[in-house]
Every structure is written in C-alpha cells, then in structure tokens.
Amino acid sequence: MTQSLAELEQLCNVLYNSHNQNERAHAEGVLRPFSTNAEYIPQCKAILDAAASPYAQLFATSSLTKLLTDHPNTPSGLRSDTRKYCVGFLASKSDALESFVLIAQIQLLSRVIKTGWLDDPDAHETILDEVMDFLKQPGEGHYLVGLKIFNQLVMEMNQQTPGTSLISQRKVAVSFRHDALLRLFRVALQGLQSLMEGGGGALADTQNPGQNTTSLKPKLREQCVKLTLNCLSYDFVGTSLDESTEDIGTIQVPSSWRELIEEPATTNLLLDVYKHNAPPTSSCALECLVRLASVRRSLFASEVERNEYLRRLINGTSDILSKNQGLGEHDNYHEFCRLLSRLKTNYQLSELVAVDGYQKWIQGVAEFTLTSLQSWQWASSSVYYLLTLWSRLISSVPYLKGEAPSMLDQYVPKITETFITSRLDSVTAVARGEADEDPLDDEERLQDQLESLPHLCRFKYDATVSFLVTKLDPAIAEFTRYANAPAGSNTEGLEILEGRLTWLVYIVGAVVRGRLSCSSADNVNESLDGDLAYRVFQLIQVMDHGFHCTRYGADSRQRLDLATLNFFGNFRKVYVGEQAMHSSKVYTQLSERMGLHDHLMVMNVTVTKITSNLKSFAQCHKVVEASLTLLQDLAVGFMSGKLLLRLDAVNLMLQNHTAEHFPFLNAYSNTKNRTIFYATLGRLLFMEDNPTQFHEFMKPIGALCDKLQSTYDSDVNAFRGDDAKHALIGLFRDLRGVTSAANSRRTYLLLFDWVYPSRIGLVRNAMTVFANDPQVTSPLTKFVNEFVLNKTQRLTFEPSSVNGILLFREVSKLCVTFGQRALQNPLPPPGSGDQHDLGAASAGGSTLRYANRYKGIWLVAQGLTRALSGNYVNFGVFDLYGDCALKDGLGVVISLLLQIPLDDVLSYRKVAKAYFAFLEVLCHSHLKTFASCDDVVFCQIVKSLEAGLRSLDVSISSQCAAAIDVLAATVFKARMGNDSNDGLGGLNVSQPGRGQTGGQSSGTGQTLLLARINAHRNLFPDVLRTLFEIVLFEDCANQWSLSRPMLSLILVNEAAFGALKSQITLSAPPGKRHEMALAFEKLMHEVGRELTSRNRDRFTQNLTVFRHEAKA
C-alpha cells in the first residue's frame, strides 16, 4: 500500500462524492487493486481499523465483500478470521458508524458467513452464537444490530450469490435451513413477544438501569417482524419463486416447525403486533400472516389442528374487519386484501363454511369489499385480490356439501353491481379532474380485474344481465343520438359516455368469455349471452356513422374501439370458428334482433369493423395493432381462415391492400405492423391454389418495385431521398410478411419466381446505397433472412434447377456489400473517447452500438447461416467453377462478427444466437475455411466457443459443444491416420443438409486443423478444463450435449486430461480425494479410444455417474 491513509481517504471521498467524471475515473483506477487482488485483504482491514472517513470505511468494506465473492477458493482460515474480525468490528464500533457503513458491514459479515458455511458443519452453532452475543450485550443498540445481522443473513442464504451455481446455492440454503433457520425464527418470535410485553424477558436483561428504553422500541419491533417474515419467506424446497409477482404458492415449512406454527400464541402475537403498531411494522405483520395462511396442509398433525388454525385466522381477520383497525393505512389495507385472498386459496369453501364465526366473517368481507369498490381511487391495486377471493368462492359452490349456508347468494349480486357502478362512476370522476389516474389507462390491472369478473357476473346471471341492460340501453340510445349531432358540437358529455360504454363493453366481453370457464352452460345462459352481445353489436353499427366519424383522434373514442376489439376476440373464442356452437341460443337472439343468423355473419361484422379501424385510426398504433392481431387470430385457424375467404370484405381487402386504401401503412408509428398485416393477407391468399389471384395481389407491390428501380436507374440521389427510403422500408416489411406466410413448396415457388430474377436487383441496389443506414438494412436483411429460410422444406427446387445456387450468390453479394461498408468504418474500442464512438461509456452509447452496428451484423450472419444450412445448395460447385461467392461471404461475415467484443456478444442475446449458430455451421461444414484463418482469428473463434459453453442459454451452449466436438473429433481422426469416417460413427463431421466447402477434401481440412492445434497446444486443454468446471460446479441442463466434446477432447489430449484429473482431485477436501480418484476411474470405465456412437453413449452414462459422485 504505497498511499498514505490520508491520501486513501481523499481518494475514497472523490470516488463517492465527486461530480467530475475524470476525477472519479482516476480515483477508481488507483483504488482498483483493493477490490480485485486478494492480497489486499489485510490492507482493507487496516483501513477499517484506522480510517476516520466513512467513505474510506465503505470502500474497504465493499472491497472485502467483492474479494470474498470473486475468489470463492479463499482459504477457509482466512474466511474464518475475516468473520471474527467483522463481528468484533461491529461489536466495538457499530454505535459510531454511519448508517450506510453499518449496512455494508452487515452485508460483508453475512457474505463471509455464507461463503464459509460449508467449510465446517460442526461450527454452525459457534457462528450463530457469535452473532447471538449481540442480543446479550447491554444497550438496545447492540440488540438492533444483532437483529439486522440475522435479517441480512437469512436473506443472503436465501438468494444466489453472483458467480455461484444454483446447485451450490441449494447446498448452502438446505444446510442453513436445517441447522439455523428455526433457531432464528424462535429468536424473532421471542424478541417480538418481549417487546410487546413492554421490554421484559430477554430484552430487559440487555438494558442498562435507568436507560431510556423507548427510543429504539419501534425499530426493534420492526426488525423482529422482518426477521419473522424473512424466515417464513425462505425458499424451503428450492422452488425459486418468481419475485416479480406478489402471488405465492403453498409454503413448504419443515415438519420441525409444526409446534411453533400450530401454537395459538404465534398467530395471536402477530395479530397483536398488527393492532398496536403502524406501518411498516403492522403491514409486515400482516404479510407474515399471509405466509402463515399459506403453509402446507400436511404440516398439521390432524384436520382438527388445521381447522383450529383456520378458526384463529378467520376470527382474527373478522375482528379486524369489525373494528376497522389499521385499514386506513394503504400498506395495511393492501396486505389485508392479500390475506383474505390467501384464505380461500389454501382452504376449501366447505372448510371455511364449517368454521364458527363464518357468517360474521363473510358479512364483514362483503361489506369491506363494497367499501373498497366504492373507494376505487384509493384501493385500485388491491381490489384484484378481493375479486379473486369472491371468484374462487363462487367457483367452489358446485362442490359444496352439507347444510351450512355459504351466504354467497346474499352478497355476490350486490358486489357485482357495485363493481360495475363504481367503474362507470370513475369515468365521471376522471372527466371532472377528481381522480389522479384513469383505471382504463392501466391495461394490466384492467385485465386482472376482468379475469375474475365472469364468475361473479354469471353466479346470478339473469340478475346481472338485467342490471347491465339497464346501463347499456340508455347509454347506447344516447350514443346513437350523438351520431346526428352537428359538426363542432360540445363533446364533453360524449367523452364521458364513451368512457362508460368502454367499461360496459369490456365487462360484457369478459362475461361472454366466462362461458368457457364457468359451469353454467345451459341454453338459458347462452340466450342471456346473446342478449348482451346484441347490444354490443348494436353499438358497433353506430360507431362509424355521422358525428362519430369525427372522433377517431379522441382518446376516449380510441379506448372504446379497443374495448370492442376485445369483445370480438372474446366472442370469437366461444361462438365463432372451430369452437363455435352453430345451434347456440346466442344466434337465436342475434338472428331475431339483428339478422345475424350464424357465425359467418358475425365474422363479416368483425372484419368490417377491423377494416374500418385500419382506415380510420391511421395515427393510433394501439388500435391498429389490436385490429391486426384480431385479424391474424382469425386467419390462423384453418376453419376460421376458410370462413374469412367467404367474406366479401376479406376479398376486397386482398384486392385493395395498398396505402391508398389503408392509410395506416403510411404512418411511421405503424411501420412494424405492416409485416403483421401482409403476413395475415398472405396466409389468406395462400389458402387456395390460385396463381392468378397471387399475381393480382402482388401487382401493386411489383409496380412499386419497378418505380423504385426506375428511380435508381435515372437518379441515384433521388433514390437516396426520404420518399424512396420510406418506400423501401415499407416494401421490405411487406415482402417479409408475405414471405413468412409462404409455408409450402407451392406457395414459396410462386413468390420466388416473382422475386427472382426481375426484382432481386432492387434489393442489391438498396443495400449498396443504404448499407450504412440501419433503418433500411434491418428490414431488408430481415426480408432476405425470411426468404432464404428453408422452413417446412419449402425451398425444394427441381433436380436440374440452379435456383438454390443463384439464391446463395445473391445472399453472398448482400453480405459482402454490407460487410465491406461496415469494415471500412470499424468500431472504435468502447470508452475510447472517440467522438464517433457509438458506445462511449454509457448505457445509451451501448444501445447505440447495438442499433447502429451489432444488429446489422447479426442479421447478416443469420441470413448467411440460414443459406448455408438450408440444404438447397451444393457448395462444391463454387470452388469447382472458380466462383468466389462462398469464400467471400464466409470471409466477410467472419470479419464482421469478430469486430464485436466477446463481452458484447454474450451480453446481447440475439447477437449471441446468430454468432454461435454461424460458428457451428462454419465448423461442421466449412472446416477448411475456418482452419485457413490466420492465427489470431482462429484462436479468437476457439476461445469464443469456450466462452459460449458457459452461456445460460442451453441452445447456445449446445451449439458450441457441437462445434468443439467436430474440431476435436477431426483432429483425433487426423492423428489416428484414418482418412475414412470409420471410428466416427457418433459424429457426422459434414452433417446432412449443410454441405461442404467446395473442393475441400476431408484430408485437407484435417491437415490444416491439425497444424493449427499443434501450433496452439493449450487451446483444447483449456476447453476441456472449462467443460469439467461446468459439469462439476455449475447447473448443467445439457449434460448430454457437453459430454460429446468431452470424450473427443480427452482422446485428443490424454496427457492434459491426466494432469487435469490430478489437479481436480487435489483441489477436493482431503477426505474426499480418494472418492474423487475413484470417480475418475469410473468415468473412463469401458470407454475405448474411438468415437463410435456406442462408445460415446457409454461415456455419457459414465459422466452422469461421475457428476453425481463428485458432487455428493
């Protein structure tokens, strides 16, 4: 440590407080060794002992945490010393530390305990006793620190440490659960009990006589409740619950916890904590009760104990409801709603009904729900749980046995009506500015509420329909009158009306969809569905007439159209297409009132409305996207697609599909929707074998191609202009949509003949002119990538056809054109300070690098990969006839991909997928090209394959494993001196459909590759070491794929394997080294020096046993 303590404190102050980026960078550079070099651990402790600056203390603490995290092989003695040092430091200095330093110190201690937890299982009691001493020290301050340590420790043990595998995490978590968690749970409850009794018991012993004991009481209670919650939130069985949602499953509490859970004092204590404290302590206590209400059924000794447990929860919540205790606090309110919902999730309705006090409870819950629905502004995020509760109660009614009344008949209709009324009232409140937010703006919350609504509405369906009709009829009548309003009329009343109708249409759609999930499916209910659907269809007939045609730009009108599209989608799922009930009473109602006799006529209304939306809402991408999504859903089904073709509106759309008829195609915000539009039209177009119709459909697109080509031929500058540019962007998106719909050989050949050769020149010209403009190259390459993709074997040409070769040549030309332009303007290193650096030291810059360069590179690589692996090109002809298309294409894509730093490749999922897919094809099918690369490129590719093995994406890891297997097997074959494929039965070096580089004999490829590997002898041993590290120490979801290259590499590097085996064995604890040596012997048991399928399979089986024994 060359700097003085004062200098270090100054640097730390600059690091955390300076606003000057250069000063911070300098300080970070000087201080970096402290957090990267494990030899600096003593210096960090010295800083903590001597420094007065809190920022120096924070830096030293953070550095120690990072060092112990990044160096998991730190000697156990050093970890133990560091743990004891942290305990002593906190015991002596916690009172004087800044809060952020205290938090960092506690995190460090927790991390140290976790990393060393498995070093000595016999020391677990000692470790806990060290922290437990804090609870026995005089003064509440130490007690508080002890509780904070336990809280952080439980959270640390419950989450995966960066850089460790899930298996390692579960080992630690299970050990901690077994040895320590119950003890901490008891500590939390005992401390809480002591605090609630006024500080008697254990806590009283920690206080000095005459000390003011009131100042820290609230914080102590909060920490005790948090510790209780953290213990109950522990991942007991490794389910890795999704933290992005508040929904929890059954809590798998260990059987050893039964006594504490069943003990009435536990539940009563948490209820008392809630009643006598304010948030966050009270809301945290409720969350503990939510967890307790979710414990597994099998935990209880018998149904008697479980029912008694339920009774306490019912009576406790009922008491809170009757006194309205604490429910004025929003945090309490939200958790209380979750608690009510969990009671039904974990218990059957029959069990709830049988509890003494159920009637009082259900009455209280009903009144609470009614109040919550009326207070929609305040309770908007919590109502979901109440609706879910009532929905689940209702869905259980058919299974309710016994004579005890559920009381649902009495409350559900009123709750349903109150929900509908409150939503309608919200529209007026929003319009008057009385509400901060509009419930219709939160689409996710809206759908959550509508999801629970069908069960409520269909419980007493006739009454619900009657109520809805009383709201719908006057609203539709008033909306119809507005159609005759003169231009310029006041729209304030209409906006409110549109909002109310939006809610009603959403509700009707949800109720109709409930026909699929609710048990009430008789003719009477279908007739009631028709009664509601008739009114929505009646509304739809008016929406695009008169004064309403001037309202397309209004938000309230756009929401109404989104609601109608939602209704169409829900109605279709139940009564249209494959699932349609042609004799349904719904159509009886619609036929008598509107003349809609069957689902074909309903489809016609739907498509007419979709067409109207696409023409009228050009500037509202939400309505356009929802309309196209609905049309796509209709076209996807075989039967519904055939029905669409019988509609005049659809045939008219196929004949008139340009921007002249659908203005949304010209709106930039709808650019991405063009692909969906043309993919849907293409699907409908290709359902029938009608080449004439196809050519008629493509005429406008062909005319645009001819116009753009003419512009290019006459004036390149005009071709570079915005008009031509936007036309090209739209054209390529449209063509991509049509191409994606051509799923058969017949349809693809129609499209191929249309594109090649007359219009492929325009694609080349566009790439030449706009190679540096991602706005053009992205849709262009996406179209080409779709065009060359041989899905469902659609690219099957005649045996005498050269179309496959010609198509590949065009792909190669596009790659070379893009690549040459990109290579002329290489990317500067990130953070180099270059003014043109697209990734200059910021997240925004990183995004720019991706958008402006990486995206184009991965798209080009994807296109060439698809062409190489499409099985429609014999690549031997290129070298045979001196054609450089293959060589140039491979060379430029390799150069482009290696422009991207490996860290960035692994950071961007799409880049990584394209990168490693290309390398796999390169190694499998074009080995000569790969082996001919210069040394730097060759080593870089092999190193990237090694890095890809560690990818969390199993497909990428498997691709890398397959590529490495080819390389190792080829070298093994070359060293064996066998020019045939004998002995490689388990490996197809040249996979069917991939082809071989022209003129490349396997011997030539082997010779070049063997020379490379002999020149770089550490490459394969490094990869083999990485594979063993993955298999032994990481989660390995694709063990079969990884086992293939492992055997090849072992056979190629037997000496290196022997050294690696010794190294791994010696790194094991002394008591396990003999078992590890035996495991290695079993690994190669009956495995010969050959790569036949049988030998590979035997090795794979042995590897499974080896992995299990090595991890035991």
pLDDT digits (tens, 9 = 90+) for 718-763: 999 999 999 999 999 999 999 999 999 999 999 999 999 999 999 9
H-state helical runs in 691-771: 691-714, 716-720, 722-741, 745-755, 760-770
Query: What's the mean pLDDT in 236-265?
Result: 75
Distance CA 967, CA 297 (A): 55
**pLDDT, position 205:** 47
Given a cut of 50, whether residue 503 has pLDDT beyond it is yes
**Residue 1077 and residue 1093: Cα distance in Å, rounded?**
26
When pLDDT is averaged across residues 454-472 and rounded to a whole number, the result is 92
Read off the pLDDT band of 451 (50, 70, 90).
confident
Separation in Å, CA 512 to CA 40, 55, 425: 68, 62, 23
The per-residue pLDDT for 991 is 40
- Structure confidence at residue 522 as a pLDDT band (50, 70, 90): low
pLDDT of residue 107: 93
CA 368, CA 326: separation in Å to the nearest integer?
Answer: 13
Are the beta carbons of 731 and 704 closer than 8 angstroms?
Answer: yes
Q: What pLDDT is recorded for position 445?
A: 82
Amino acid 667: pLDDT: 85
Q: Identify the band that residue 607 occupies on the pLDDT scale cut at 50, 70 and 90.
A: very high
pLDDT in tens, 924-958: 999 999 999 989 999 999 999 999 998 888 999 99
* Residue 160 DSSP class: P
pLDDT class for 396, splitting at 50, 70, 90? confident
**pLDDT tens by residue, 758-783:** 999 999 999 999 999 999 999 999 99
Which residue has better confidence, 477 or 576?
477
Query: 91 vs 51, 64, 142, 143, CA distance in Å?
Result: 17, 18, 7, 10
Contact 569, 602 (CB under 8 A): no
- Check: CB of residue 587 under 8 Å from CB of residue 652: no
- Mean pLDDT score, 602-630: 92
pLDDT > 60? residue 517: yes
pLDDT at 993 over 80: no
- Of 982, 938, 968, the C-alpha closest to 1043 is 968
Separation of alpha carbons 499 and 431, rounded Å = 9
Residue pair 501/479 in contact (Cβ under 8 Å)? The answer is yes
Average pLDDT (200-215) is 47
* DSSP category for residue 931: H
pLDDT, residue 240, reads 55
What does the pLDDT look like over 434-448, one tens digit per residue?
877 888 888 888 888
pLDDT tens track for 133-184:
888 877 788 889 999 999 999 999 998 888 777 777 888 888 899 889 999 9
Helix, strand, coil abundance in the chain, percent, nearest 5:
75, 0, 25
| Lowest mean pLDDT segment, chosen from 18-27, 207-216, 826-835, 990-999 | 990-999
Paired residues of 13 in beta bridges: none
Distances (CA, A) of 7 to 10, 36, 1036: 5, 20, 47
Q: Residue 808 to residues 10, 394, 568: CA-CA distances in angstroms? A: 63, 62, 44
Please check the confidence at residue 319 and state whether its pLDDT lies above 90. yes
Please determine, for residue 997, whether its predicted confidence score (pLDDT) is greater than 50: no
pLDDT band at 248 (very low <50, low <70, confident <90, very high): low
Give pLDDT, residue 69.
Answer: 86
Angle at 399 between CA 394 and CA 405, to 5 degrees: 65
Stretch 1067-1077: mean pLDDT: 82
Q: Can you give the pLDDT at residue 691?
A: 94
869 CB contacts (<8 Å, ≥6 apart)?
A: 921, 925, 993, 994
Q: Residue 211: what pLDDT?
A: 44
Residue 995 has pLDDT above 60, yes or no: no
Helical segments of 375-460, H only: 383-395, 408-431, 443-457
Residue 831 clears pLDDT 70, i.e. is over it: no
Range scoring the smallest mean pLDDT among 580-594, 846-860, 945-959: 580-594
Helices (H), 771-854: 774-788, 803-824, 843-849
Q: Report how far residue 373's alpha carbon sits from residue 371's, in angstroms, rounded to the nearest whole number.
A: 6
pLDDT over 90 at 49, yes or no: no
Residues 43, 2: contact at Cβ < 8 Å? no
Contacts 24+ apart (CB under 8 A), 207-213: 207/138, 207/139, 207/140, 208/138, 208/139, 211/139, 211/140, 213/140
DSSP helix/strand/coil, 638: helix
Q: Is the pLDDT of residue 243 over 50?
A: no
What was the pLDDT predicted at 118? Answer: 81
Mean pLDDT of the chain: 87
CA distances from 1024 to 486, 949, 1049, 1050, 1059 (A): 80, 11, 6, 7, 11
Query: pLDDT-derived band of residue 572, with 50, 70 and 90 as boundaries?
Result: confident
Predicted confidence at residue 841, as pLDDT, reads 36
Residue 966 pLDDT greater than 60, yes or no: yes
642-700 pLDDT, tens digit per residue, is 888 999 999 999 999 999 999 999 888 888 899 999 999 999 999 989 999 999 999 99
Q: Kindly state the average pLDDT of the residues 415-427.
A: 93
